[in-house]
Amino acid sequence: MIEKSWLIPLLPFLGFLINGLGRSRISKKTAAVIGSASVLCSFILSVLVFFELQGSAETGVTVKLFEWIRAGSLQIPFSFYVDPLTCVWLLVITGIGFLIHVYSAGYMHADQGFGKFFSYLNLFVFFMLILVMGAGYAIMFIGWEGVGLCSYLLIGFWYKNDAYNDAAKKAFIMNRIGDLGFLLGIFLLIATFGSTDFTEIFPQAAGFQSGDGRLLAITLCLFIGAVGKSAQLPLYTWLPDAMAGPTPVSALIHAATMVTAGVYMVARSNILYALSPVAMTVVAITGLATAIFAALIALTQNDIKKVLAYSTVSQLGYMFLALGVGAFTGAVFHVMTHAFFKALLFLGAGSVIHALHDQQDMRRMGGLKKAMPVTFLTMLLATLAISGIPPFSGFFSKDEILAHAFSRDPLLWVLGFAGALLTAFYMFRMLFLTFWGDFRGTAKEKQGIHESPASMTVPLILLAVLSVVGGFLGIPEVFARQAHLLGGFLAPVFAASQEVLPAMHVPHSTEWILMGISVLGVLVSIGMAWSLYVKKKRVPAEDTVQRSGLVAWSYHKFYVDELYQALIVRPLDALSGFFYRVMDKRFIDGIVNGVGSTILAFSSTLRLLQTGRIGSYLFYMVAGIILIFLLNYLIF
């Protein structure tokens, strides 16, 4: 089956072609069936690949497709590489992708661009699969840019709205900045290893000294790419804006799959990072800083999707913290559990927005518990999971990350724990504002509140199940021996780097204490949210109200967008205007036209000598001859 794994990306691509080319002829129902079925088939194939890989002794299989580029000494084949790490992503992308396709059929049913939407979604799945299946960085880059394109198309899906187009453009260009880093990383890889293939690079790299300058440069460049794609500081501002896209897009692309591509890339390159301690530190610090920074912003946001977007940025920060402290398995584990509960949260939010006819402001919600029981219950489970309450999935993955952070440096743990407290607070704030209390919208909106159709609630329920039980794939050692199923499966991928990195050593007693503290802290945090938003029924102030102090900074997102506008966008505009109006028009064309007009002026003066009178010509002749004689006499 692995040999035929190229079918996995091919099927969504065919779906894209059919829905894309025939979108004016294909009915909505057919488009939805084609779109979803192609991803479902890919999921089934991925499951087959998973079982075959688990049963086989090999750690990874290369599937050669064709010779892509051969120029000079450089050869880049177009091939896929399937190993446990790829497999985890395959299952997440196609599995959750399928559920979100089904959900979209319900969510988008009234939209004019239904067929277009499904074709874009399928195209996204195709590129995402290329990204994780590529056997080298060059193929990965194709997928990397491809998902960026799809993200652009889907954020700006409702292209008549200018704000949405701005968001789409911003996402693409910010991603492009990261992509340039990635591209430079690829150039460095080619210069160092003469290849872009994983199977060529990693064995060679394993022989390098720890702290090698070339590896440091490569890892830092690749990390710039990851920062762009996974929305880390300082390139994160596109992700909250990307919420302009339809909600299923936010769930699939901007929560579960695309934004985790950076984590995939670093995890894939684990041996390179393991040998560059400085890069590891940079990754860990960036991750941690992003986790806390985004959580602080999330505390005061009032748009339900914005809260979730900042939460995603923050959770991605945790994943990078994990990578930075060498907990590669923990990072992958958190990618997986996060994909479950964050996709669920977005889809749940979508369900609420759908019921309220595109109302996204939490100040106009409230008391939806009764009217939307399925949405409420599933979102409650997801919120418990993300907050880290045992035994829900988020608890296990977050605990693993924090334990590793503690073993590296207790300060990292303290900061990570602080972030977890913020997470619990803003998530429950969102939940309480939405589902508790009284409804704060208009009477007309209240009339129309309804639970979503089955095509939307069934995916919610399935994701809720995964969010609850997903954590059991990675039960830590303190509970049971040999219990970390995911860790065992992924072990061969990280084997080489685990030899280089110091092993985690936290005594079991310490681990129990840390776990206890974090659970207790989270419960207190939830209690605070409860007393504020349920007991005291506090509702966030309107936009017009002046905020002060830290609240204002958080509410205005620390003014980062304004900063970028002033530091980059405006100077660039001024520079381009200067180049065109002054350099090009005045200076260069000034010289060119100046030469022309000088010659013209000169010749029009000279022309006057040609009078047509014999007398004057005779005079010129005589004067000329005298001049020649004079010169002759003077010089010789």
Interacting residues with another protein (CB under 8 A): 66-74, 141-142, 145-146, 149, 152, 156, 159-162, 165-166, 169, 172-173, 176-177, 180, 183-184, 187-188, 190-191, 572-573, 575-577, 579-581, 583-584, 588-589, 592, 596
Q: What share of the chain is helix, strand, coil (3-state, %, to 5)?
A: 75, 5, 20
What is d(CA 269, CA 273) in angstroms, rounded to the nearest whole number? 7
- Letter for the amino acid at 531? S
262 backbone dihedrals φ, ψ, rounded to 5°: -65, -40
Closer by beta carbon to another protein, 216 or else 325 = 216
CB of 452 to another protein, least distance (A): 29
Specify whether the CB–CB gap between 355 and 314 falls below 8 A: no
CB of 410 to another protein, least distance (A): 39
Closer by beta carbon to another protein, 448 or else 596 = 596
Our CA angle for 475, 481, 487, nearest 5°, is: 50
CB of 169 to another protein, least distance (A): 5
CB of 145 to another protein, least distance (A): 5
Closer by beta carbon to another protein, 126 or else 310 = 126
CB of 573 to another protein, least distance (A): 7
- Letter for the amino acid at 444? K
Closer by beta carbon to another protein, 246 or else 326 = 246
Q: How many CB atoms lie within 10 A of CB 463?
A: 31
CB of 73 to another protein, least distance (A): 7
Contacts of 450 (CB under 8 A, 6+ apart): 355, 371, 372
What is d(CA 303, CA 175) in angstroms, rounded to the nearest whole number? 24
CB of 162 to another protein, least distance (A): 5
Helix (H, G, I), strand (E, B) or coil at 103: helix
Closer by beta carbon to another protein, 509 or else 604 = 604
CB of 147 to another protein, least distance (A): 11
81 backbone dihedrals φ, ψ, rounded to 5°: -130, 120
CB of 88 to another protein, least distance (A): 24
Q: How many CB atoms lie within 10 A of CB 439?
A: 17
What is d(CA 196, CA 139) in angstroms, rounded to the nearest whole number? 9
- Rounded to 10 deg, the angle between the 162-193 and 198-206 helix axes is 60
Closer by beta carbon to another protein, 203 or else 577 = 577
Closer by beta carbon to another protein, 150 or else 331 = 150
Closer by beta carbon to another protein, 161 or else 442 = 161
CB of 183 to another protein, least distance (A): 6
Closer by beta carbon to another protein, 213 or else 577 = 577
DSSP for 344-399 reads HHHHHHHHHHHHTTS--BGGG----TTT-HHHHHHHHHHHHHHHT-TTSHHHHHHH
CB of 156 to another protein, least distance (A): 7
- Rounded to 10 deg, the angle between the 261-268 and 213-229 helix axes is 160
Closer by beta carbon to another protein, 152 or else 236 = 152
CB of 213 to another protein, least distance (A): 14
What is d(CA 393, CA 472) in angstroms, rounded to the nearest whole number? 7
Closer by beta carbon to another protein, 71 or else 443 = 71
Closer by beta carbon to another protein, 71 or else 545 = 71
Q: Tokens representing 268?
A: 């894939």
CB of 304 to another protein, least distance (A): 26
Specify whether the CB–CB gap between 68 and 78 falls below 8 A: yes
- Kindly list the distances between the CA atom of residue 283 and the CA atoms of 181, 222, 226, 319, in Å, as whole numbers in the listed order: 15, 11, 10, 10
Our CA angle for 592, 597, 599, nearest 5°, is: 100
Closer by beta carbon to another protein, 448 or else 577 = 577
Closer by beta carbon to another protein, 183 or else 515 = 183
Whether the bond into 240 is cis, omega within 30 of 0: no
450 backbone dihedrals φ, ψ, rounded to 5°: -150, 155
Q: Tokens representing 25?
A: 């002829």
Contacts of 162 (CB under 8 A, 6+ apart): none
CB of 72 to another protein, least distance (A): 3
Handedness of CA 486, 487, 488, 489 (dihedral sign): positive
Closer by beta carbon to another protein, 70 or else 450 = 70
Specify whether the CB–CB gap between 107 and 246 falls below 8 A: yes
CB of 246 to another protein, least distance (A): 16
In terms of Cβ atoms closer than 10 Å to its own Cβ (0-12, 13-18, 19+), residue 30 is middle
